[in-house]
Structure 1
Amino acid sequence: MTGAVLAPKLQKLASGRSGRQVIVLPPAGGGFLPYLGMAAALAEHGDVHAVLAAGLAAGEEPDTDVPAMVARCLSAIRGLPAAPAVLAGWSLGGVLAWEVAAHLDAHEGHRPAVVLLDSYVRLRPDANLAAFTESIVDGWPASLPGPDRDRLLRTASAHVRAAADHEVSVSYAGPGLLLACADGPVAQQSAAWQRLSDQLRIEVVDGGHFGLLRPERLPAVTGPVGGFLHDVLGKEGSP
């Protein structure tokens, strides 16, 4: 059933028609809500699961560095029936997707397709972390109860600080797509990722970072993502 929790920190968002596994990794804030709109499109390529970050449930503390988040993601996907065919993530989630894919390649010889939804090798040194966190909070439902909002805020703040302290340095030889927002520094963003991969496809979409997965912009996202995955994986269920 869509939304059913399969295992600690792993949640199914949509069912596909084959045994392929499509995994979305948590953006700053740790939840899966940003991915709900594109889950049906991703399901054309397999079952879609979201990894949930620590800090969202009562009594949990958020991870405070990217390596800890990567370890948590790796632990979560071990519960799947097959290794992931696709790792995707928005913002910090794309960084986690890249790092997890590089680990799987180096240690298990498995190279999933990686989709980076306006992710950055490193946040700009002059980034306003408080404003960044506030923009994340603005995307949450207004109906969230106070205790839930407090946990989410604590988690988002920890994630933003972790992202600011981290720079992706590991190369990845598998297939990748960077979907970059036109309102950002596309040239610098693209060049930074290309230094880590000669297999990276780059597509640019109109608009800014925080509205990327809003309903009105989803066709501009799912189109290039679907085309990339079709090229890499073929039709679902094919050999």
Structure 2
Amino acid sequence: MDGFLTESDELLRPERECWAEGFCFVAGVDEVGRGPLAGPVVAAAVVLPRGVALPCVNDSKQLCESAREELNAAIFALPGVQIGIGEVDVGTIDLMNILNATHLAMRRAVEQLRQADFILVDGRPVKGLPLPSRAMVKGDEKSASIAAASIVAKVHRDRMMVELDAVYPQYGFASHKGYGTAEHLEALRKYGVTPVHRRSFRPVREILTPPPEQPLLF
């Protein structure tokens, strides 16, 4: 981990704007796991403390696994940090669709915070959040709090998928984390669908109920 952020850093501009408006505990919120064919969707909410040296966080997608793990540990070690994690399982994803499940995971993450008064959320606006919020497209590249949340969510979900790999070792969850790689699709065709697969997602659904063959036209 290289260097630290200060309150004048550009990555804290969204937080500074919120502080200037009178908010004191600004939570960054991000999610991971919308696209995979298996496993939960996970969101994290992070309120970074003021007046302490903050690790140089970055969008989790721009970091290697070891860097994410190191930054995740540094975030959890910050004095006064608040962290909430929300999970939504595959059954609920299939029941309510992935967008609604993602929003539910975000709400659950925020509800775990001890004290927060404003939310910076990655992406598009999210309905039903318990606090006033501001949506930021590519917020994990613009806000330290959102970047921290992206790291926490990613590390948490990756660990969950490694645990699922021990239960279903033939599917390769530890390597692809449930995404629809060629390896994963081949395992689905060979071994079938597990209880941790999202049955509403097309590649899984088509293995459960293959589409009818199209007649040959001459």
Q: If the length of structure 1 is used for normalisation, what is the TM-score? A: 0.29
Give the TM-score, by structure 2 length: 0.31
Indicate the structure whose relative CO is greater, using CA pairs within 8 Å and at least 6 residues apart: 2
Which structure: larger Rg? 2
